[in-house]
């Protein structure tokens, strides 16, 4: 028997207002294009994160970078962008973890990026 960290056959429907979202059993959106601020807020709350303007900036950056490069951005790309936007004090991995304590994969989840194979 193979022990998998998640079951790819299990999906959940999340109803928020009149809209339905489909997520896997780790709550990653199945369809990148379904993401909007409503599901982003819901996912953040599930992760016990209250979204600030800094969170939203990072989320928007992650989504744009994913579209542009066709892959998940690495943490160094994110901290470099944070340095440009917010200055050196907020450009460290340590500061990033104050925003997303679960790390880059938690940020990917809230931003609606697909789950990476290495998330297990």
120 catalytic? Reply is no
Torsion of CA 28, 53, 101, 77, to 10 degrees: 80
Pick the catalytic residue: 16, 22, 119, 120? 119
Compute CA distances 71 → 66, 76, 90, 95, 119, whole Å: 5, 14, 24, 23, 14
Q: 104 is written with which tokens?
A: 């880059």
- Which are the catalytic amino acids? 119
């Amino acid at each position: 028997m193979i022990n998998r960290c998640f079951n790819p056959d299990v999906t959940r429907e999340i109803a928020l207002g009149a809209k339905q979202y489909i997520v896997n059993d780790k709550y990653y959106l199945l369809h990148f294009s379904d993401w909007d601020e409503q599901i982003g807020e819901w996912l953040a709350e599930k992760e016990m994160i209250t979204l600030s303007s800094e969170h939203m900036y990072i989320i928007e950056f992650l989504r744009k970078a994913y579209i542009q490069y066709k892959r998940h951005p690495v943490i160094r790309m994110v901290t470099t962008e944070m340095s440009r936007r917010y200055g050196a004090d907020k450009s460290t991995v340590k500061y990033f973890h104050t925003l997303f304590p679960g790390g880059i994969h938690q940020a990917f989840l809230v931003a609606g990026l697909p789950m990476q194979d290495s998330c297990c």
